[in-house]
């Protein structure tokens, strides 16, 4: 998979992809993540990427010109499955959406800023608008990092069997059961006996039961549909 991210703050996105699972996925050639600085495509003297909004009001709007030049360039090079705009008024990200996006070949992601992007960018180029939750971030970069992480970890070969994405919370509409590691007792708090029993059939049942219990308590909405 190839992912192109369009941003005015590429530095914000360098960290999340240069460590751990995201780093290894790139090293293994399972995903190619390209950061594009929108400012590099500005034709104005001072490399502006934003301007005052028509009709007045506080806050700048991201201009269409540099974004259009960059998107046209990328679109001429390959076909994109989706051109995504990260925005608080988008559809809220969930596991189903990440699963679907992980099946694509090429994805483009535009990170919003300020008051947002000129509406004509959305009309002309954007095929999908995504929010990561009902709160406001300073820009779309952190949201894009969340989206990309959730997609890349689903690509075949990225995770090993032990950490398989199939056993994640949400993948089966249940939260994960509690987990423990050594020591078997810490300050009087003991690991449940069943996990030390070696009876893997019983352990599976226990995990299922705990997952259901936790989901009922914390996220009953997941059980309704």
Build a one-symbol-per-residue string for 95-124: x at contacts with ligand 6GU by CB under 6 A, - elsewhere: -----------------x------------
Which of 25, 35, 132, 148 touches ligand 6GU by CB under 6 A? 132
Determine which helix (DSSP H) or strand (DSSP E) holds 207, and give its type and residue range: helix 200-218
Pick 143 or 175: Cβ nearer ligand 6GU: 143
- Determine the 3-state secondary structure of 88 from DSSP: strand
- DSSP H stretches of helix in 16-140: 20-27, 64-77, 95-101, 119-124
By CB under 6 A, is residue 87 in contact with ligand 6GU?
yes
Are 48 and 42 spatial neighbours (Cβ–Cβ below 8 Å)?
Answer: yes
By CB under 6 A, is residue 140 in contact with ligand 6GU?
yes
- Give the CA radius of gyration of the chain: 22
Distance CA 142, CA 122 (A): 20
Are 106 and 1 spatial neighbours (Cβ–Cβ below 8 Å)?
Answer: yes
Piece of 21-29, 99-107, 135-143, 163-171 that binds ligand 6GU (CB under 6 A): 135-143
Which of 133, 178, 184, 192 touches ligand 6GU by CB under 6 A? 133
Are 209 and 192 spatial neighbours (Cβ–Cβ below 8 Å)?
Answer: no
Q: How far is the CB of 153 from ligand 6GU (least distance, A)?
A: 19
Pick 17 or 174: Cβ nearer ligand 6GU: 17
Long-range contacts (CB closer than 8 Å, 24 or more residues apart) made by 180-184? none
By CB under 6 A, is residue 63 in contact with ligand 6GU?
no
Piece of 117-125, 130-138, 154-162, 187-195 that binds ligand 6GU (CB under 6 A): 130-138
User: Which positions touch ligand 6GU (CB under 6 A)?
Assistant: 86-88, 112, 131-133, 135-137, 139-140, 143
């Amino acid at each position: 998979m190839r992912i192109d991210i369009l941003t005015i703050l590429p530095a914000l996105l360098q960290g999340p992809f240069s460590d751990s699972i995201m780093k290894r996925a790139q090293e293994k050639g399972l995903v190619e993540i390209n950061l594009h600085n929108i400012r590099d495509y500005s034709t104005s003297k001072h490399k502006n990427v934003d301007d005052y909004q028509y009709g007045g009001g506080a806050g700048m709007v991201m201009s269409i010109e540099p974004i259009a030049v960059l998107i046209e360039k990328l679109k001429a090079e390959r076909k994109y499955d989706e051109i995504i705009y990260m925005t608080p008024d988008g559809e809220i990200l969930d596991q189903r959406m990440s699963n679907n996006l992980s099946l694509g070949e090429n994805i483009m992601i535009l990170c919003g800023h300020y008051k947002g992007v000129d509406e004509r960018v959305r009309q002309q180029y954007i095929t999908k608008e995504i929010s990561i939750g009902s709160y406001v971030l300073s820009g779309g970069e952190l949201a894009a990092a969340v989206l990309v992480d959730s997609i890349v970890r689903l690509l075949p070969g990225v995770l090993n069997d032990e950490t398989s994405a199939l056993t994640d919370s949400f993948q089966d509409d249940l939260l994960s059961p509690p987990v423990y590691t050594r020591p078997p007792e810490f300050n009087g708090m003991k690991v449940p006996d069943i996990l030390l029993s070696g009876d893997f059939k019983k352990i599976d049942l226990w995990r299922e039961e705990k997952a259901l219990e936790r989901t009922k308590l914390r996220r009953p909405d997941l059980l309704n549909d």
